[in-house]
């Protein structure tokens, strides 16, 4: 299994960053074929912790915390972090 920095090329996109036991882990950048991208932290292949998602036109669409590949937003009514369903997840 691969550990350390590297590049993973696949039909659905390219990841440049760190790996642990063959999984995306640590900081990295994932770019989809349409040029949208995620820059941030990974944990065992999931977007996890702080990250930023940019559209194919380079527009920042989400900046903040991620949990198990889902962007997390604060709920203004109860003050808890909750996953937000978004088109960011279907890229």
Domain containing 10 — which CATH number? 2.20.110
CB 2, CB 20: distance < 8 Å: no
pLDDT tens for 16-74 read 999 999 999 999 999 999 999 999 999 999 999 999 999 999 999 999 999 999 999 76
Structure pTM?
A: 0.79
Write b or e for each residue in 29-65: b if 16 or more Cβ atoms lie within 10 A of its Cβ, otherwise e: ebbeeeebbbbbbbbeebbbeebebbbeeeeeebeeb
Which structural domain range is residue 42 located in?
A: 4-90
Question: Is the confidence at residue 76, as pLDDT, over 70?
Answer: no
- Per-residue pLDDT, 88: 52
* Beta bridge partners of residue 69, listed in sequence order: none
Question: Is the confidence at residue 91, as pLDDT, over 50?
Answer: no
What is the number of structural domains in the chain? Answer: 1
């Amino acid at each position: 299994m691969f550990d350390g920095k590297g590049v993973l090329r696949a039909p659905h996109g390219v990841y440049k960053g760190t790996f642990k036991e063959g999984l995306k882990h640590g900081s990295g950048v994932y770019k989809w074929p349409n040029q949208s991208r995620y820059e941030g932290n990974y944990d065992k292949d999931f977007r996890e912790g702080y990250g930023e998602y940019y559209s194919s036109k380079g527009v920042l669409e989400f900046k903040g915390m991620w949990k198990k590949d889902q962007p997390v937003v604060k709920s203004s009514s109860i003050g808890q972090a909750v996953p937000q369903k978004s088109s960011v997840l279907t890229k």
